[in-house]
Amino acid sequence: MRRRPQAWWLLPGLLLLLLAGFGLRLPGLFANTFHPDEALFASWARLIAVWRDPLLQTQAVDKPPLLFYLQALFYPLLATPAGFPARLPNFIASLLLLPLTGRAAWQLYRDPLAAVAAVALVAFSPLAIQFSSSAFTDPLLTTWLLAAVVASSAPGPYRRRAWWSGLFWGLALATKYQALLFLPLLLGLAWLARWPGRAWGWWLAGFAPAGALLLLWDGLRPGGFSLWHNQFSSYGGLRLAWSWELWPRLAAWANLSRYQLAIPWPLLLLLLGLGLLALRRQPAAGAAYDALLFLFLAGYGLLHWLLAVPVWDRYWLPLVPLLALLAARLVARLLAGLWAYARPGRSPRRRYALLAGLALLLLAQIPAALAAGRGAYPVGARPGADGGAAAVAAYLQAAPYGTVLYDHWFSWQWRYYFFDRGVYVSWFPHPAGLGDDLAVFAAGEGARYLVLPDSAVARPVLRAVTAAGFAPELVYPAGGMNLYRLQLAPAPAGWLVEGRR
């Protein structure tokens, strides 16, 4: 019988991985700017934090509210309108995801190499890094789901693990309804763990508090129990993808999958192939978990490909720890085979080859992880996600009460940035509507500003402003958007009547 490698020397490496994960995630906490969805969620959190609308009764909420209430806890504690308090719940959750991944790998495979490799893959995952310092609901959802996986596969009395599994899954459902898609995975883990029928009563007992509070919150709001309807309305309903959509959707999802792990895909495919070969030569315990994870990942991917849901990076995030578990399992089997091959009595050069392979696995991930730490990839949160909204808001920060900002594209950002400011945001549906509004109201007191994307879509709006008798003056270019001050254009001689052309 072959001896397993001693695990004690892996502990320093595990601690270093946790520190590296923290260091890679910390800069984005203060450098990232809000994507429109993040700004919307953070504005809801501020409404709760100042007790202006604690049940969000005036808002068209289409997400379960757990994240918003957790975000609201940090605003009064830190006493700042900055954006990073809204990111703190996800930042904490993303750090907890690392030891949870190691724990899940250990429980499923009882392999220290697999545990460390899984932590490394999640710690250096570009997708996980760039979502860690964000205000999206998905990082918190991912941590709750993995906690439910850990509870479902934990040793010990079934009552305790079933109760914790139900509780964590209930918290995931109170964060985002996509938790429903992971219920088959938990059922599969329970079946492999041979839960007795009585365990499901304890599972429901764990789920009950979060489920009851979610129903109570939804029922107290206007149009009670409308959250589920709002969720589907925001998608425009669900349907199967049309035939002409299949290839573009497959290409888009495949492109996003490049950011799930930091290992270059050629090296990853090589390692997975060698790992599968090692599994074939050395069948090991845990093959049933391998099959379950593979089937779930394949089913989840097919569902998002064949249903016409938006191709969004955030939907791939909950798969990162599961993909890391499966990949780490195969890599660990390969390394274990090399370790056995390079045991004492063999050539020391083979030991050096093993250490070189371990170093290559880690070093290959560092460039992508460092780039993700700077927010360099077009996924998750990043410094330029707001298109310049924070800079425009800072420019208008001291604007007097009565200042009007005309906007069509960026309303969710202004909800957050002008939460307690004197700037009134006036949404216009189309260029002609803006022209009509200017003709009626813009001759009064107070400054008038217009914000437009820095693209060709701004041209018809600017023409409508000019046709209404106003001269748009570019006062602040902010990257993805431009801020204009609107002033009455001087009329030609002989055409001035009562100050208007």
Same domain, 351 and 271: yes
- Give how far the C-alpha of residue 85 lies from the chain's centroid of Cα atoms, to the nearest Å: 16
Q: Which among 373, 407, 432 is the end of a domain?
A: 373
- The whole-angstrom separation of Cα 93 and Cα 403 is 40
- The whole-angstrom separation of Cα 456 and Cα 467 is 18
Q: Quick check: helix, strand or coil at residue 284?
A: coil
**Banded model confidence at residue 96, pLDDT cuts 50, 70, 90:** very high
Would residue 2 count as lying in a domain? no
Q: Which residue range is the domain that position 47 belongs to?
A: 10-223+234-373
- Pick the closest to residue 362 from 163, 113, 165 (CA basis): 113
The pLDDT value given to residue 364: 84
pLDDT of 4 above 50:
no
Would residue 494 count as lying in a domain? no
The pLDDT value given to residue 211: 96
pLDDT of 277 above 90:
no
Average pLDDT, integer, range 269-279: 64
The pLDDT value given to residue 355: 58
Would residue 378 count as lying in a domain? no
pLDDT of 497 above 60:
no
Q: Which among 311, 338, 373 is the end of a domain?
A: 373
Would residue 129 count as lying in a domain? yes
The pLDDT value given to residue 98: 97
Same domain, 61 and 210: yes
Q: Which among 373, 405, 426 is the end of a domain?
A: 373
- The whole-angstrom separation of Cα 22 and Cα 13 is 14
Same domain, 93 and 165: yes
pLDDT of 413 above 80:
yes
| Six token digits for residue 97 | 């995801």
Same domain, 403 and 354: no
Pick from 217-226, 275-284, 346-355 the range whose average pLDDT is largest.
217-226
The half-sphere exposure of 113 on its side-chain side, counting CA atoms within 13 A, is 19
- The number of beta carbons lying within 10 Å of the beta carbon of residue 202 is 20
Same domain, 54 and 133: yes
Would residue 500 count as lying in a domain? no
Same domain, 219 and 278: yes
Would residue 214 count as lying in a domain? yes
The pLDDT value given to residue 342: 52
CA angle 251, 257, 260 (to 5 degrees): 170
Would residue 440 count as lying in a domain? yes
**Banded model confidence at residue 271, pLDDT cuts 50, 70, 90:** low
Total tally of structural domains belonging to the chain: 2
The pLDDT value given to residue 276: 62
The pLDDT value given to residue 358: 64
**Banded model confidence at residue 282, pLDDT cuts 50, 70, 90:** low
Would residue 380 count as lying in a domain? no
Q: CB of 90 within 8 A of CB of 380?
A: no
Task: For residue range 358-398, list pLDDT tens digits in order.
Answer: 677 778 899 999 999 999 999 999 998 999 999 999 999 88
Same domain, 111 and 79: yes
Same domain, 403 and 259: no
Task: For residue range 308-359, list pLDDT tens digits in order.
Answer: 999 999 999 999 999 999 988 887 777 766 666 555 555 555 556 555 666 7
Same domain, 365 and 401: no
Average pLDDT, integer, range 224-248: 84
Contacts of 171 (CB under 8 A, 6+ apart): 66, 144, 210
Helix (H) or strand (E) holding 286: none
pTM of the model: 0.91
Same domain, 431 and 282: no
pLDDT of 129 above 70:
yes
Task: For residue range 48-80, list pLDDT tens digits in order.
Answer: 999 999 999 999 899 999 999 999 999 988 877
Same domain, 297 and 411: no
The pLDDT value given to residue 328: 87
Same domain, 310 and 450: no
The pLDDT value given to residue 263: 82
